Amino acid sequence: MENSTKPIYIISDSVGGTAKTLTSAVLAQFPNLNTAELKRFPFITEIDQIEDILIDAEKERALIVTTLVNKELIKYVERFSEKSALYHVDLMSPLTKSMEEHFETSSIQQPGALHKLNASYFNRVSAMEFAVRYDDGKEPSGILKADIILLGVSRTSKTPLSLYLANLGYKVVNIPIIPEAQIPEELFKVPSEKIIGLTTTSRTLSKVRQARLASLGLQKNSLYADEARIKQELAAAVDLFDRLEILTIDVENRSIEETAVLIEEYYRETFHRSQSIT
């Protein structure tokens, strides 16, 4: 469609990740615009930098999305957009203005303030390093140091979920469940509230594993993707989950983000409960 060829210009005084994420989320509601091009222009802090971008935007009849905190830059974009009859969406100003009025104080107008190196940033970096170090049961000793322990058979999203939660600041260990392998004794030494079991259906898991084998150039009829074998693995996993008395989450038809939300809510609830008991 003709409209889908019109680009969207994302202009930010930082990396522009927030604007890109939100714009992509809204675009998902317009499946016919799946060819719409997103052009990101990060670290724009001076009018000299923005002039050429806006001229190009006018030529391409682009939609302009901004996350700028400098009020002079914002006004410049607004005036240019109005003059050129371009659509402009300012994602920052309305909320900033409301906060200024609500809290009766002025914003600092500091570009990239969200991404400044702080304790939270270093905590996330440390958590990411932790997740990589203890991925896939490499060192069972990590179980005793973790905030969250994920258990599941192969291809139940343990690693991507670990990394996603690590980016939220949680130290995560993931342990694969293999019927023939010994269960780490450390699992029985930590509070069960810290352990999450991941499961799915044998049919879905078989398809996922077949796709994995195909991507590696291996035969799809391997025992690894055999549904009967997978049922044995899932049964062993359920048996372990019952023994540990842990929360189990079915990851079928759930995105990594959705599963992470469930885990984080459960973790916060049980953590606060245990804190109040102690």
Closest CA to 197 of 225, 156, 228: 156
What is the average pLDDT across 220-234?
Answer: 92
Of all residues in the chain, what percent carry a pLDDT higher than 70? Answer: 92
**At 2, is the secondary structure helix, strand, or coil?**
helix
What is the average pLDDT across 107-127?
Answer: 72
- Report residue 121 CA to chain centroid gap: 15
Q: Give the pLDDT of residue 221.
A: 80
How many other C-beta atoms lie within 10 A of the C-beta of residue 113?
13
For 119-277, the fitting CATH number among 3.40.30, 1.10.10, 3.40.50, 3.90.550 is 3.40.50
Q: Model confidence over 86-99: pLDDT tens digits?
A: 999 999 999 989 99
Q: Give the pLDDT of residue 78.
A: 96
Q: Give the pLDDT of residue 17.
A: 81
Answer yes or no: is pLDDT of 202 > 60: yes
Rg of the chain over CA atoms, in angstroms?
24
Closest CA to 185 of 252, 140, 240: 140
Residues 91, 102: Cα–Cα separation, whole Å = 18
What dotted CATH number matches 2-115? 3.40.50.2300
Answer yes or no: is pLDDT of 4 > 60: no
Domain residue limits, the chain: 2-115, 119-277
Say whether 119-277 and 2-115 share the same fold: yes
Record the pTM. Answer: 0.61
Higher-pLDDT residue of 155 and 121 is 155
Q: Which three-class secondary structure string do you get for 95-125?
A: HHHHHHHHHCCCCCCCCCHHHCCCHHHHHHH
**pLDDT band at 118, cuts 50/70/90?**
low
Higher-pLDDT residue of 272 and 58 is 58
Q: Give the pLDDT of residue 50.
A: 93
Q: Give the pLDDT of residue 278.
A: 37
**pLDDT band at 36, cuts 50/70/90?**
confident
DSSP output for 228-243: HHHHHHHHHHHHHHHH
Q: Give the pLDDT of residue 196.
A: 97
Burial 238-256, CB ≥16 within 10 A → b, else e: eebbeebebbbbebeebee
What is the average pLDDT across 227-234?
Answer: 95
